[in-house]
Structure 1
Amino acid sequence: MVSDSSVSACRPELLAPAGNWECVRAAVANGADAVYFGLDKFNARMRADNFTREDLRELIPFLHGHGVRAYVTMNVLIFTSELYEAAEYVKTLNDEGVDGVIVQDAGLAWMISQAVQSDEAFSLELHASTQMTISCPAAMRFFERFLQLSQAVLARELSVREIEACAKGSSVPLEVFVHGALCVSYSGQCLTSESLGQRSANRGECAQACRMPYMLEVDGRMMPLGERRYLLSPQDLCAQEKVADLVRAGVRSFKIEGRLKSPEYVAAVTRGYRHALDAAMEGREVDARRRAEDLYAMQMVFSRGFSTGWLDGPNHPLLTHGKFGKKRGAYAGRIADAGKGWLDVNFSGSVPVRPGDGFVIDRGENRNEEQGGRIWKVEGKRLFFHGKASRVDWQSVRAGNLLWKTDDPALNQALRRTWAGLEDAGKAVHLHVSGREGEPLAVSCRAAGVRVESPQPLERAEKHALTADVLKAQFGRLGGTGYALGSLACEVPEGLMMPLSVLNRMRRELVEKLDAQPAVCGVRRAKPLDVPVFERGKASEGAAELSVLCRSVEQAEAALEEGVRVLYLDFTDIRAYREAVAHLRGLAADASIYLATLRIMKPREEGYMKFYEDAAPDGFLVRHVGMAEYLRGSGYRLAGDFSLNVANPVSAHVWREFGGMEYATISYDLNVEQVLDLLHAAPGDWFELTLHQHMPMFHMEHCVFCSFLSKGKNFTDCGRPCEKHRVRVEDRCGVKHVLLADEGCRNTLFNGQAQSGARFVPELLAAGLRRFRVELLAESRDEARLLVRSYRELLDGRLKPEVLFERLHAADRLGVTEGSLSAAGRR
């Protein structure tokens, strides 16, 4: 239970998703305080119906009229050629009355912050998206220094304790996901859809590769998995029982995932969390019957099985059990006997069963081949099905098979009724009320420039004093006027009074004045956002520089032997860095040695820095914003890696100006045309480009080693199988991808097929780029030497790309957005 002392004066917000108008109405009718949605561009759910900019003129008044805030998602990377259009989008959102914009791209976020500071008419709130991978207090502090953040969405991989640490370490209100689908990869760090399906998750085109079945190769042999084929598909998050803990931890906004879900889903889940949040704020428990009904409804509208995600800390086998990757619904029971058209079921007891309900039979087979149907009749424990309509092979059904309820038409109908009669409440007006004893009471709508005053002064109250609630009740009586009370700010001292009859007259006068100038009510008309222009500079006349990322000492030795003088070390055991750096310096004193930081930094992981600093490297390849904050001003040379998502010159400027980076790796989301656009918009020495690599696809808190190669639940009891076995994950096409664990026990799945951008080197050199990188994975010493020698010859003009491809068996590809880094028409 939440005590009064632990509850913030700012009431937490319940934030619901909306992919279309029906979802908006479902959210509003079931208690959402705010709704988030995307427009037809620049949002991470391009498969949703989404809204258009024209829709905002009807949508925003509807939401505000019901006292609900509107947030628009622009949670994707912005390419160089899109900066002006994105800036215009943001101005439109502001001018149409949107309350906040959820942003991933650091460059766009900085542009918005500049507008907040320089333009009084710009009042759009800036929210940091979970795609920014904010996972520790240091990351919060980094962005706080130069962004005008109103809210920040934390990474979904944090425990309640870690969320509390972030809340205590920052003044920015925090938003946390409490329900819905979990990405197995850290948001903003998933390149799987790009690498396998040529679709960018950072551009709203996730192909959901995590929901596919896979096979596991351990030390060269295929591991029997039985029905556990969905190695990377987490159960859905359900934090219904964690709401009070999250309130105590300091969470400001409780976010429901699901912009691709149905309005019934939005209704059921919003209602369930409305009950839970209200109970937490009132210091009580949700009634057990109500909690059970809410849980059942949420299971039925969509569930892959529920867990508390990472909120209780890591429990890898619970989070990802591997048995299925799509909707299950609610577990109904176990089949005791079966015949043609009927089933005898030992019911679980908690799931209602009625004619018309939909079911699926779980025999542990391929989930695409599962059978099911709708119930025709119920007689005790026996269910009857229509023979032809069910399409079930009854001879294959066995006692012991499981039965899952997947559809409840009666529940769906009841949910639809919750928003069926919801009407437009009118155009929202936001009021400010002020006054002191002996002076008139003043009520103003500042957006419309309207103000009314009472004909008599405020007096000391003997019985019924004015309160904010009384004022909201009186000025909220706007039915039939075309207006609705959006918000009311009260600056009236306690203990004063004004007759209700006077308040009623003031309300009528206010409406008359609003009617006289409705066109200006709520219009902001901000100035256009400034899109900075950077001096490109002349292309360097110097030779191209090749750096090599090495994952073993042997690889680093091979690179030095081939004349490379910039090394990035990326070892799974960071304790080995000290000896390795000293050894490599002994081989080549003129080499610059950088250590690659972890891609994620969580609360209390600053201790890793001791191992990094004890190694005394020349610099760091910075992979996470928390590490950027820690290393800023440290005196080390800093380079930004691909995981910082530099996709345009403004984001590059942000990392240079506020992160102290000498240069940054160009995002893997860019194709060659977009890379060239970037190089034409900023100096070439701001960037490095990875020319050869095994694309790092999933980067995840989930540990496959622990879930499938141990009997433990996390690093405390797993026995560290990651240190004992070589593991590859095989996809449906038969390609085997390398799995590695880092020092933080986080797993990365690397594409088994190397890719190369060798063909584009002449154009990249002509555009001013001089830094190129080769990333090694599991190559032997001799393989590493051949690979490095080939790229040095390529950059020197002594080797043609087609010969390199033949020699190294690398795919002709560099980045994959829009099909591959090779843009259409350039092959």
Structure 2
Amino acid sequence: MKQVELLAPARDIDAGIAAVNCGADAVYIGARQFGARENAGNSVQDIERLAHYAHKYWARVYVTLNTLLYDHELPEAVALITQLYEAGIDGLIIQDMGLLECDLPPLPLIASTQMHNNTPQKVAFLEQVGIQRVILARELSLDQIREIRRQTSVIELECFVHGALCVCYSGQCYLSYAIGGRSGNRGQCAQPCRKKYTLKDRDGQILSHNRYLLSLKDMHRADYLRELLDAGITSFKIEGRLKDEAYVKNIVSYYRQRLDAVLAGGDWRKSSSGTSRINFTPDPVKTFNRGYTNYFLTGRRDEAVASIDTPKSIGEKIGQVLTVNKRYFMLDTPAILHNGDGICFFDTSRELQGTQINSVQAERIFPASMEGISRGMVIYRNYDHAFITQLSNSRIERKIGVRLIFCETPYGFFVSAIDEDSNQVGHELACEKAPARNKEQAMNSLRKQLTKFGATEFECTNLEIKLSEPYFLPVAQLNALRREVLEKLTTLRAQQRPRIQGSILKNSVPYPERALSYLGNVLNQQAEALYLRHGVTRIEPAAESGLDLHGKKVMTSKYCLRQQLGLCAQNSTIAANFTEPLSLVDEHGQKYLLRFDCETCVMEIFFAPARL
């Protein structure tokens, strides 16, 4: 059967193990440096430990080395990649094409979404030079994904299905670098998209004042897993390498359940082994979210994809305030708040405020502070104390099913173990066969001891006993027999674990473009050499080379402010009320000019001054 992968984030080894336990088929984690999340690095030793744990379930571990590299960093990056290969990782997520010119170990290479993999031509090129998988641009629609699959052959397609969204095309954002020298392509993004801006027209008219105009909601595509699978996606990725363990447990468990329902009875199967069992009900609104959007997957609709009132988590809507007292308030719905919950609300200035619940008495809710709470206000819960406590104390286990066959031989007994991946081992116990005096007790002891798998990754799903009559076997012998056969099965699974080797193809297939501006992100001589060999004739150095970005485009987005604010050019009445070009002004007075390509529904942001 064809395989499909649920891919989870790991901030550290504990989050990675939690993801595997909750059913992830693979996890991705940052190494000590050169990752697109500078503050989410891990030692090679921890990554090796995580890989060892994941491999028991045939789950995979990918490492993110997805930043642009300076020439002097390439030798260190190659040395790190070699160490990671020796540590047993299963793939490397990269952004810098210069690495394809280096002498790398045979790791499968995965093209980071930072490469902006958005066209069939780009993905086909990556396939031809030996890239094993591409992580597609987040803003692609189902139709665009289908077309990429139609024009490629064996390259694997991965896409994000959940988590935070960058407002800009990934790998094409230079706003943070332009403002303060902190490059997103170097893992140092200062997140200016989560700051306040004022939108003005050419004449200075304010169209929106001091709002979070570039802050998007979070992605949620659980309702489209079937459609994505049919479009050619084989890896479903959850964002969140800076998120805590509670987020990982909740979201991975949720998508495991949703994906399993899609796979049931079909031609696809998950790519790893074992079944996860949890003792909580996963719910995406219970952990960090800014509200949810499918982000143009089904085309551009009227939905607002941004959260312009706050970049913070708002959580779940609880109800409206019905009654206000000096010390408490009451809601229009039955109170479901509890002691220790965190709540938030938008005040009269549309600023997000919050407080903690001290106690709940019947329908009366007593917060730590009543400041700002008024009648008619909508209350959200952004911290569910009981749910988070349940996650922290949750009993999660992942077990690989094993069938046992116990039979007698002329010289004793033999046990066979067959796991859910059809791996089979056996072990013989040579001993005297003494008929049992208490036949029922002997059979009960046999079943109990052979199926007592304890804290191993295995569980017995069936025990078949083939004996001419019940025999007496000491408990110690049965325990030793069970341990021997499970150790053999563990060894065999390690030998049989599917492995994929990568192979960079040094050729001269033409790159889809003949000229690369700074948007091509060429920061080192190896990347330049690669593009030249593939037919590119003009190459401008990357922004991070020290390029002056004044007047240049620093962001391109599928998100459109005019559509978000109801100012779309297709509405001629509204459009007549302001004069172009529009501009954003941040809290420090820095101006950014906007250009709207209405034919392709794309918004571009330029670092002022610029001539449009």
- In the superposition, the TM-score normalised over structure 2's length comes to 0.78
Contact 2:423 2:489 in 1 (8 A): no
Structure 2 residue aligned with 1:96, among 87, 94, 98? Answer: 87
Inter-partner Cα distance in structure 1 for 2:490 and 2:18: 30
Give the secondary structure class of the aligned counterpart of 1:361.
Answer: strand
Partner of 1:402: 378
Give the secondary structure class of the aligned counterpart of 1:40.
Answer: coil
Contact 1:29 1:418 in 2 (8 A): no
Please give the residue correspondences for 1:244-323 in structure 2 after superposition, counting only pairs within 5 Å.
244-282=226-264, 297-315=283-301, 318-323=304-309
How far the C-alpha of 1:204 sits from its partner, in A, is 0.7
Structure 1 residues 728 and 405, CA, compared in 2 at 3 Å: closer, same or farther?
same
Contact 1:706 1:721 in 2 (8 A): no
Inter-partner Cα distance in structure 2 for 1:691 and 1:315: 37
Partner of 1:23: 15
Inter-partner Cα distance in structure 1 for 2:164 and 2:109: 24
The residue type paired with residue 17 of structure 1 is P
Contact 2:305 2:564 in 1 (8 A): no
Structure 1 residues 343 and 73, CA, compared in 2 at 3 Å: closer, same or farther?
same
| Superimposed CA distance per residue, residues 296-351 of structure 1 (whole angstroms, 9 cap, x where no aligned partner) | x211211100111121212365101522211101011111221212112123x7x9
Partner of 1:675: none
How far the C-alpha of 1:507 sits from its partner, in A, is 10
Query: Does residue 506 of structure 2 align to residue 651 of structure 1?
Result: no
Structure 1 residues 484 and 391, CA, compared in 2 at 3 Å: closer, same or farther?
closer
Structure 2 residue aligned with 1:136, among 112, 115, 119? Answer: 119
The residue type paired with residue 410 of structure 1 is A
Please give the residue correspondences for 1:389-428 in structure 2 after superposition, counting only pairs within 5 Å.
390-393=368-371, 396-418=372-394
Inter-partner Cα distance in structure 2 for 1:340 and 1:199: 47
Inter-partner Cα distance in structure 2 for 1:294 and 1:655: 50
Give the secondary structure class of the aligned counterpart of 2:211.
Answer: coil
Please give the residue correspondences for 1:290-689 in structure 2 after superposition, counting only pairs within 5 Å.
297-315=283-301, 318-347=304-333, 352-365=336-349, 367=351, 370-380=353-363, 382-385=364-367, 390-393=368-371, 396-418=372-394, 469=420, 471-472=422-423, 508=484, 629-630=511-512, 638-658=514-534, 660-671=535-546
Structure 1 residues 198 and 209, CA, compared in 2 at 3 Å: closer, same or farther?
same
Structure 1 residues 141 and 373, CA, compared in 2 at 3 Å: closer, same or farther?
same
Inter-partner Cα distance in structure 2 for 1:77 and 1:238: 29
Structure 1 residues without counterparts, runs of 5 or longer: 1-8, 116-121, 285-292, 426-454, 456-464, 486-498, 533-625, 632-637, 672-689, 755-776, 780-827
Structure 2 residue aligned with 1:70, among 37, 61, 65? Answer: 61
The residue type paired with residue 199 of structure 2 is L
Give the secondary structure class of the aligned counterpart of 1:318.
Answer: coil
Contact 1:706 1:718 in 2 (8 A): no
| Superimposed CA distance per residue, residues 494-524 of structure 1 (whole angstroms, 9 cap, x where no aligned partner) | xxxxx99xxx999959957999xx9x999x9
Inter-partner Cα distance in structure 1 for 2:247 and 2:218: 13
Contact 1:363 1:402 in 2 (8 A): no
Structure 1 residues 367 and 20, CA, compared in 2 at 3 Å: closer, same or farther?
farther
Inter-partner Cα distance in structure 1 for 2:572 and 2:309: 20
Inter-partner Cα distance in structure 1 for 2:564 and 2:288: 24
Give the secondary structure class of the aligned counterpart of 1:221.
Answer: coil
Contact 1:363 1:397 in 2 (8 A): yes
Contact 2:339 2:385 in 1 (8 A): no
| Superimposed CA distance per residue, residues 184-234 of structure 1 (whole angstroms, 9 cap, x where no aligned partner) | 0011001111111321100111111111111110132232537x8111111
Inter-partner Cα distance in structure 2 for 1:320 and 1:470: 44
Give the secondary structure class of the aligned counterpart of 2:297.
Answer: coil
Structure 2 residue aligned with 1:42, among 1, 12, 34? Answer: 34
Q: After alignment, is 155-164 or 414-423 more displaced?
A: 414-423
Give the secondary structure class of the aligned counterpart of 1:12.
Answer: strand
Inter-partner Cα distance in structure 1 for 2:207 and 2:250: 39
Structure 1 residues 196 and 212, CA, compared in 2 at 3 Å: closer, same or farther?
same
Give the secondary structure class of the aligned counterpart of 2:422.
Answer: helix
Inter-partner Cα distance in structure 2 for 1:513 and 1:328: 48
Structure 2 residue aligned with 1:173, among 147, 156, 164? Answer: 156
Structure 1 residues 421 and 160, CA, compared in 2 at 3 Å: closer, same or farther?
closer
- In the superposition, the TM-score normalised over structure 1's length comes to 0.59
Contact 1:53 1:92 in 2 (8 A): yes
The residue type paired with residue 381 of structure 2 is K
The residue type paired with residue 697 of structure 1 is V
- RMSD of Structure 2 on Structure 1 (CA): 3.9
**How many aligned positions are there?**
534
Structure 2 residue aligned with 1:126, among 109, 118, 131? Answer: 109
Query: Does residue 44 of structure 2 align to residue 53 of structure 1?
Result: yes
How far the C-alpha of 1:475 sits from its partner, in A, is 8.0
Higher helix content, 1 or 2: 1
Contact 1:475 1:507 in 2 (8 A): no
Contact 2:45 2:87 in 1 (8 A): no
How far the C-alpha of 1:745 sits from its partner, in A, is 2.6
Structure 1 residues 245 and 17, CA, compared in 2 at 3 Å: closer, same or farther?
same
Query: Does residue 569 of structure 2 align to residue 694 of structure 1?
Result: no
Structure 2 residue aligned with 1:737, among 589, 592, 611? Answer: 592
Query: Does residue 206 of structure 2 align to residue 223 of structure 1?
Result: yes
The residue type paired with residue 128 of structure 1 is A
Partner of 2:132: 150
The residue type paired with residue 58 of structure 2 is G
| Superimposed CA distance per residue, residues 165-186 of structure 1 (whole angstroms, 9 cap, x where no aligned partner) | 2122212111010000010001
Partner of 1:728: 583
Contact 1:640 1:655 in 2 (8 A): no
Inter-partner Cα distance in structure 1 for 2:76 and 2:118: 30
Please give the residue correspondences for 1:750-765 in structure 2 after superposition, counting only pairs within 5 Å.
750-752=606-608, 754=609
Inter-partner Cα distance in structure 2 for 1:421 and 1:282: 21
How far the C-alpha of 1:413 sits from its partner, in A, is 2.0
